[in-house]
Amino acid sequence: MSKKMILLVLLIITISLPIKISKEKPIINTISTIFNNKNGKTKVIDPIGKLEIPKINLTKYLYDQNSSLNNIEENVTILKETISKNENGLIILAAHSGDSDKAFFNDLDKLTIGDHINLKYKGKEYLYIVTNIFEQEKKGYINLDIKDESQLFLTTCSKAPHKQLIIETKKIVLTP
């Protein structure tokens, strides 16, 4: 048999095989995350916010601090010990940098003072302006100069060895 004939037979066999589409696989969309938990039941987790940084083309959803999706291995993470209960809340977000597909803050070092960050959080929209950019030694924690509770901090590993990059922002109050 010629090579062309063998390829033709393989193609016909492949096309005629039934295709099975599983409805049990996780589906990720822009509104909710749907997945099967350990006991096989489907669970929907809605995001509580969305971070947008236009300058670096970043849009990422945020999940409740107690959600399994609020982890640095999968998403931009709200650090549990930082979020305030009031409307002006201090928020600290962390994410990976580097060459991974999970390195959401890899371009954070391209931000400059005066750049804008949008945050939709628990049904409200906020606008922040970058006021300070600095690095500090990487020690497993960060030291912040908290001026008031209407700040948003973004942090990731710096491209410099053993350093942590920190972007400090202040909420802009928009008047109608």
DSSP code string of 9-67:
HHHHHHHHS-----SSS-EE-SS-EEEE-TTS-EEEE--SEEEEEGGGTEEEEE--TTS
pLDDT (tens digit per residue) in 82-128:
665 555 678 899 999 988 888 999 999 999 999 999 998 878 888 99
pLDDT at residue 45, rounded to an integer:
80
Which residue, among 163, 109, 155, has the nearest Cα to 136 in the 3D structure? 163
Report yes or no on 16 lying in a domain: no
Q: Considering the chain, what percentage of its residues have pLDDT values greater than 70?
A: 68
Whether the pLDDT of residue 71 is over 80: the answer is yes
Mean pLDDT in the chain?
Answer: 78
Residue 40 falls within a domain, yes or no? no
| pLDDT given at position 145 | 81
* Residues whose CB is less than 8 angstroms from the CB of residue 112 and which lie 6 or more positions away in sequence, other chains included: 130, 133
Domain that holds residue 119: 47-172
Does the residue 12 lie in any domain? no
| Inside any domain, residue 35 | no
The domain that holds 114 is classified in CATH as 2.40.260.10
| pLDDT tens per residue, range 19-55 | 343 333 333 333 445 455 555 665 668 888 899 999 9
Q: How many folded domains does the chain comprise?
A: 1
pLDDT band at 174 (very low <50, low <70, confident <90, very high): low
Q: Is residue 9 part of a domain?
A: no
Segment 57-67 mean pLDDT: 91
The model scores a pTM over 0.85: no
34 located within any domain? no
Q: What is the pLDDT of residue 113?
A: 97
Is 67 among the domain residues?
A: yes
**Torsion angle, CA of 50/55/57/60, rounded to 10 degrees?**
-20
Inside any domain, residue 55 = yes
